[in-house]
Structure 1
Amino acid sequence: MRGRAGIAVLATLTLTANTLMAVQGASSAVAETTPVDGASRPYEVTSKRAKEPFTVAPRRMVVPLTWSESAVEPASRAITYRNDTSKDQEIRLRVKLRDRSGNAAPAALATLSADSLTVPAGREAGAKLELRRHGVKPGAYRGTVQVTSATGKPLGSTALSIHLRAPVPAPAPPVGSVTASPDSITVDLASPGIPDLTRRHTITYRNTGPRPVTLRLAADLTGPGEEPTEAPAELLEVPDQVTVPRRGSAEVTLTFRGAGIPHGRYQGTLIATGTDGATKVTTPLAVDVGREKYNVAVNLIDRNGVAPTQPTWVYAWSVTDGGRWERRIENGTGVFELPPGVYDVTTAIATGEGETLINHRITVDDWDLDLVMDAREGEPVELSPQGVDVPGMIEAWYETPWYRFTAEGPEGSVFAVWRGPGEVAENVGFQVLGWGKRDATDGPGAAYILSRYFAGRIPSDTVWHPSPDELSVTRNHFRSVNLSRSGGLNLTGGYVDSLRMDVTFPQTVTTYIEPGLTYSRELGYGIAYENWAQIADYQAVAEQGERDDVWNGAVLTPGDFGVGAKPRRSSGGQLSVVAPITYVDSSGRTGSIDRTTNELTLAADGQTIATGTGQLYASLAPESKRYTLTWDRTANPEIAVFSTATKTEWSFESHHIDWEEQTLPLHLLRLAVPGLNDDNAAAPGSESRIPVKVQPVEGLPTPEITSMSVETSADDGGTWQAASSADEDGTWIATVTNPDAPGFVSLRITATDADGNTVAQTVVRAYKVGS
Structure 2
Amino acid sequence: MRLGKGLVAAVLAGSAGVTAAQAPAAATPATSPTPATSIAATPATPATSPTPAAAAADRPVNERTGTVTLITGDKVVVTAAGHRVEPGPGRQASYASQRRDGHLYVYPSDARPLVAQGVLDERLFDVTQLLEWEYGDAQRGDIPLITQSAQGDVPALRSARQTRRMSALGMAAVQVPKANAAETWKSLASGARTLSAGRTKLWLDGRRPFTLDRSVKQIGATEAWKQGFTGKGVTVAVLDSGYDPDHPDLKDVVTQSRNFSEEPDIRDNLGHGTHVASIVAGAGEKYRGVAPDAKIALGKVGGVRGPADSAILAGMEWAALEVKAKVVNLSIGAPDTPELDPLEQAVATLSERTGVLFVIAAGNDGLPGTVNSPGSADAALTVGAVDRDDRMAPFSSAGPRSGDHAIKPDLTAPGVEITAAAAAGTADGPYVAHSGTSMAAPHVAGAAAILAQRHPDWSGQRLKAALIGSAAPQEGATPYQEGAGRVDLVRTLAQQVTAATPNVWAAFPWDGTGERVVTKDITYANAGDTPVTLDLGEDSEVLELGAQSLVVPAKGEASVKLTIRGEGRAPGDYPGVVTARSGDTVIRTLAGAYVEPESYNLTVKTVDPEGNPPDVRVSGEAYDKTGDRRLLAFDGQGKATVRLPKGEWNLYVDLWGGYAAFGHRSVTIDSADRELTFDVREAKKVEFTVDEPTAERDRLIAFTLANGAWNTAWISFGQSRGYYVFPVRQPGLRYMSTTVWHKKDAKPSPYRYDLVDYEVGGIPDDPTYRARTRELVKVSAAYRAPGGAAKARTSVGPQFPGAPWTDVWISSSPETDLPATMTHYRTPGFAWTTQIETGTHTVAGHSEVLGRRPVAEVWNDAVTGPAFGTPAGDRDGDRLRFTADGLLTAGRAGLNGGDSTTTGKLALTRGAEALAEADLAGCVPMEPEKCLLKARLPAEAATYTLTASAQRPSALSTKVEAAWTFRSERTDKARPLPLTAVRYLPEGLDDHNRAKPGSTTVIPVSLQRNPGAPAARATSITVETSFDDGASWRPVRLVRSGSGWTARVANPAAPGFVSLRAKVTDAAGDQVTQTITRAYAIG
Question: When you count helix as a share of all residues, which structure comes out higher?
Answer: 2
Return the TM-score normalized by structure 1: 0.50
Larger Rg: 1
Higher relative contact order (CA 8 A, sep 6+): 2
TM-score calculated relative to the size of structure 2: 0.37
Please state which structure has a larger fraction of its residues in strand: 1
